Homo-oligomer: A and B are copies of this chain.
Amino acid sequence: MIIAMKPGAGMDEIRRFAETLEKRGVKIHFSEGASQTVLGLVGDTSTIDEEGLLARHLVDKVIRVQEPYKRANRLFHPQDTRLAVPGPGGTVRYIGGGHLGIIAGPCSVENRDQIVDIAKAVKEAGAGFLRGGAFKPRTSPYSFQGLGCEGMDLLLEAKKETGLPIVTELMAIHQLEVFDGVDVIQIGARNMQNFTLLKELGRCRKPVLLKRGPAATVTELLMAAEYIMAGGNSQIILCERGIRTFDSHTRNTLDLSAIPALKKQSHLPVIVDPSHATGLAWMVPAMAKAAVAAGADGLIVEVHNNPEAALCDGEQSITPAAFGSLMDVLRKYAALEGKAV
């Protein structure tokens, strides 16, 4: 971390300021320039708050040279993390480290037939994981809120029928009680900075699929992952699902450059949700292919056997048939990228 002191700041004051920093475990290197003094901080600066520094009247500017995350940082873990998710009967599915993980299923679990049928269809098409929401975060209190615990039971039935591991969203800590059979816990975009929830997940021993918030920077997403990792759980899948911008031609703006950005900074696998990002079923295949071409380690795609009657997000769901065709194409893209589907 480099701190430029204000021009004209007195050396005595600067030294006293530097001493307070040294108490936090860093070493300070002084550089007295012609017009201003610059401090170089050596050591672990992750506990030093830039904003706190900027509150000091002596401080002009601060540059963080080291990123503020450690466990999520590729610097300290150069190799790609490959996440292994055990399924029923001793099977294992992978995401990352050369494996393209495909998660597919409906936005919400609606009834037994719906979820089991879709599960079978996506499995046949080649998906490795089944998604489906039991607890749904909805903008309006008057919209369908998910089937809750009943939905969870239906998901487990679909898992039993197909052997597909289950990915479903957790909205609050107390719901963990019914997450025993869940294989990957999804944290939704609007909960990316629900820090109480993140801390709790740190104590959990299940993989977490962490979605980027619609207004979160790449660094903030990595800091959210760091919250979970700091608690001891390093099984994290990062998910780009679109950010909020001025243009509303798609529901959100899919930021595919986040894939190389995240993978450069971090060893964690990065997947993409083209369904929520665009909100438009007809755009999902183009964005799914682009995500793989940009280096994604997986996809999470909404598939519904009757999008027009879906209780939520029908506009962005593709049919099992469309998903099957997409998988055929994606295998070719994955091959170009040297990835196993």
Contacts and interface: CB of A to CB of B under 8 A. Distances in A.
Interface of A: 2, 4, 27, 29, 31, 33-36, 38, 40, 42, 46-47, 49, 51-52, 54-57, 60-61, 63, 65, 68-69, 137-144, 171-174, 190-191, 193-199, 213-215, 217-220, 223, 226-227, 230-231, 243-250, 253-261, 264, 277-279, 281-283, 286-287, 289-295, 307-308, 310-317, 329, 332-333, 336
A254 B293 CA distance: 14
Contact of A33 (B42, B197, B290, B292): B42
Contacts of A289: 293-294
Given A173-B172, A243-B247, A315-B54, A31 B34 contact: no
Across the A-B interface, the 5 shortest Cβ-Cβ residue pairs: A55-B314, A31-B31, A215-B215, A293-B293, A290-B294
A207 to B, nearest CB: 19
Contacts of A226: 140-141
A227 B139 CA distance: 9
Contacts of A139: 193, 220, 223
Contact of A42 (B35, B245, B283, B315): B35
30 contacts: A4-B65, A33-B40, A34-B40, A36-B40, A36-B65, A38-B40, A51-B313, A51-B314, A52-B311, A55-B307, A55-B316, A61-B65, A68-B140, A138-B195, A140-B223, A141-B199, A141-B230, A141-B231, A172-B197, A217-B247, A218-B249, A219-B249, A245-B255, A253-B253, A256-B287, A256-B290, A259-B286, A289-B294, A290-B291, A333-B333
Nearest to A35: B42
Q: Is the interface of A mostly helix, strand, loop or mixed?
A: mixed
Contact of A254 (B195, B197, B257, B307): B257
Contacts of A4: 2, 63, 65
B295 A286 contact: yes
Contact of A286 (B141, B194, B213, B260): B260
Nearest to A190: B193
Contact of A256 (B38, B247, B254, B336): B254
Nearest to A53: B315
Contacts of A46: 140, 142
Contacts of A316: 55
A328 to B, nearest CB: 11
A314 B52 contact: yes
Nearest to A43: B34
A113 to B, nearest CB: 19
Contacts of A197: 172
Contacts of A27: 34
A287 B294 contact: yes
Given A226-B140, A253-B255, A218 B247 contact: yes
